[in-house]
Structure 1
């Protein structure tokens, strides 16, 4: 009797097991035994399973519970490694002219190889190509990070910068904004090479009326507050945030506009006039109005300290094409001509500007990690540059968590897409980075990358190394072609 019953039960279990297996939900990727980093709150959750279907995270939870509910074609054993949202570089450049299109295009995989799943192009002279790359990446036709771009920048007539939309009056600004909207740019970049202060403010206000985000280089003849009043959305480079903290900024701007002082004297007075109370009032206003700041701290530091920290033998130059390397020369040559007094002033200037970073954090400003990497900006490397930037943020007073927020959540906040990015949660994009160490304890852990997941595609360490190898091989071939 017992034997018959046992056999019957065994048969029943065999019949049920395949049905139970079939009832498990199907995903594309399971990441098991992960320590999920909650960047927003600065905490970790060990023993998690993350479920990915397509380019979406569909579930996150305790491994013991969740892993039994899902099956997937690919399962990653994270082995307690640390899982963070993909990194964002919110200030990069592509440019150098049509001859360098392929060299610029070859930079895209470098970002991914360093855990950067989104970049914001702040304009160069290859606007049409970058706009095309944006669409190709979104459609899966081109490999690279998610790409946001300003398209061509808005400038005055006959500016220093190439590839711009030139405007000499309000009608010219209107036409430029019409073009930006036809190109469906993600934001508008406005610079001050030859654009008059009045037209700069007009461009900001008109862009705001059209619902366009803006960033730019603020003319010396204006205060930063005037640009904020006109509607600027992000302030690029920490120097402008420093300028906003100068008590006599308005008087200096007026004197410059009237021709009573030149740029060198204006900068001297700005450097001597910083006031903490003035700065904090300005920064609190940035925060209240949602104006972000992209420090691009490392780019300036590289040039400021070339005398004591040379980069001409950097190993990373092997990933940068010969044409792009050549664009570095003019800044390097200019820095090399500095007198000892000018070099000392550069060092002191860096320290003066860097000290405002924790003040911005204290005031609640949205600090967006951005590098200024790309052509012209000497030794400011696409990919590794963001990790150098984050290291400086911590060195200059931010916590590792605050630096990580700047590189994972600040960009989505500015673009209004925090519902989609900036956390390892169900409903978010499957743009993730698996790290060997805890970045909340040491920000340099962002360099210790085991795996990158880009729009649901898994790139393990071997695949990431292959991207780097391929990039280096392309550069070697270009170099060889030049020496024949």
Structure 2
């Protein structure tokens, strides 16, 4: 054998040996789960359309490998994701666990319902079941219970004799300080403010004190203060669009004065606020919200449900079969109020809902960050935990907001709560949902769920 031939075989042998070494399976290149041949849509609603294999290990996204690489990666379990789309698990940024001890088991049932609908994280916006909620969350995190990660405000802060059970009532600075102490002692994730009996002065004081402690604040807004005052106090998130509408009126100060004097109430001020909506004022308000990094949670879906209750019969809703009679009983107050309203009041409510769709679009166009939240839970009639988030996404697109932006409105909840690990990237939390069709083309695809993965484990498989 001549020298050149020997050299050729030597090179071939070395090459094969090197390739074999590269392909050797070790603990370092072996993962718990690989989802192959799949299209990624990240938390920004962006997809490059290419196919990847996503490797998961120890509850985290360990590798995102393009199909054309020569990496030698292995997995204990492989799933073929051909023709499917993988996204971060869905976030519902406004839910409620509440109803007292009688409804604990019913609220507990909702944990699996959230997972069924692809929701791996929820923000509990105040209730009266905080000990149970925090215990459930611990069990979910240690893998002994199936459900979404729960970020909770714990009890709401309100005035004395507050509307909602479990709320902490305050009437002066000292009581506010003690209330915030109590929330910090149970390690809540943010502070939720409510406006049933809370004075404007105490409302602003709560925000200022909470912000000085580094606590995140979110909530309603008493109509006895202006939106400018609320933003200046340091609020981080406005729940619902009523309060944004108020800040878009050219006569907000005058209307606020009438409310303070008892000449106007919350609902009968709506007509005046719409009539005095001013585009220049609105744009200044939007800019101030954006410049101060104030989030807005529109909760459009519950508004649609309540506005059209006279036209839509929910008595045969499939989800009702999952609900206990005591839970369904909590729906009656809003149902009766809606159905017993005058034709004029019903029409005003519908007009307001249509206006809110326009307002949500204007906020988005102005660069204000929206959060997608359903407002599901007891007392909020037919706003069911799970499917209602998908209803909210649909409403956002009905407002002519792009599907990609509607998706992003879910995931912005992580940034609002300063939770940096929820990104579709190496090292991100492996809370994921796999869809059969593309939500960037049709938002209804979010309901077409094939797999749900929580902390790296498959917790729902449609097949």
Normalised-by-shorter TM-score class: over 0.9
The aligned counterpart of 1:199 is: 202
Q: Deviations over 1:352-404 (max 9, x none)?
A: 12211111111111100000001100000111111111011001110011101
Determine which of 47, 70, 82 is the counterpart of 2:51.
47
Secondary structure at the aligned position of 2:50 is classed as strand
Quick one: distance in 1 between partners of 2:65 and 2:16?
28
* CA shift in 2, pair 1:413/1:14, >3 Å: closer
1:122 to 102, 125, 128: 125
- Pick closer, same or farther for the CA change 1:285–1:133 going to 2, 3 Å: same
Q: 1:58 aligns with which of 35, 59, 62?
A: 62
Measure the CA separation in 2 of the matches of 1:103 and 1:459.
Answer: 20
Structure-to-structure mapping, 1:81-480, within 5 angstroms:
81-408=84-411, 410-417=412-419, 419-421=420-422, 423-462=423-462
Residues of 2 paired with 1:311 and 1:182: CA distance?
42
CA shift, 1:16, in A, is 8.0
CA–CA distance in structure 2, aligned partners of residues 118 and 278 of structure 1: 36
TM-score (structure 2 length as normaliser): 0.93
Most deviating of 286-295 and 262-271: 262-271
- Counterpart of 2:31 in structure 1 is 27
Instruction: Measure, in 1, the Cα distance between the counterparts of 2:187 and 2:43.
Output: 31
Q: Distance in 1 between matches of 2:217 and 2:207?
A: 7
Tell me how far 1:17 sits from its aligned partner. Answer: 4.4
Distance of 1:21 and 1:243 partners within structure 2: 65
Deviation of 1:83 after TM superposition, in Å, equals: 1.0
Measure, in 2, the Cα distance between the counterparts of 1:181 and 1:60: 38
Gaps of 5+ in 1: 464-484
Gaps of 5+ in 2: 2-7
39-48 or 192-201, which deviates more: 39-48
Native 8 Å contact 1:220 1:256 kept in 2: yes
Q: Distance in 1 between matches of 2:349 and 2:297?
A: 20
TM-score by length of 1: 0.89
Question: Structure 1 272/175 Cα, relative in aligned 2: closer, same or farther at 3 Å?
Answer: same
Aligned length: 456
Contact 2:42/2:88, CA 8 A, preserved across alignment: no
Which of 382-391 and 31-40 deviates more? 31-40
Q: Deviations over 1:422-454 (max 9, x none)?
A: x42112111111111111111111111111111
Task: Please state how far the C-alpha of 1:133 moved relative to its aligned partner.
Answer: 2.0
Structure richer in helix, relative to its length:
1
Which residue of structure 2 lines up, in the alignment, with residue 475 of structure 1? none
1: CA distance between counterparts of 2:115 and 2:240? 24
Conserved? CA contact 1:39–1:401, under 8 Å: no
Distance 2:343 2:95 in 1: 31
RMSD: 2.3
> How far apart are 1:80 and its partner, in Å?
2.7
Match of 1:72 among 59, 70, 75: 75
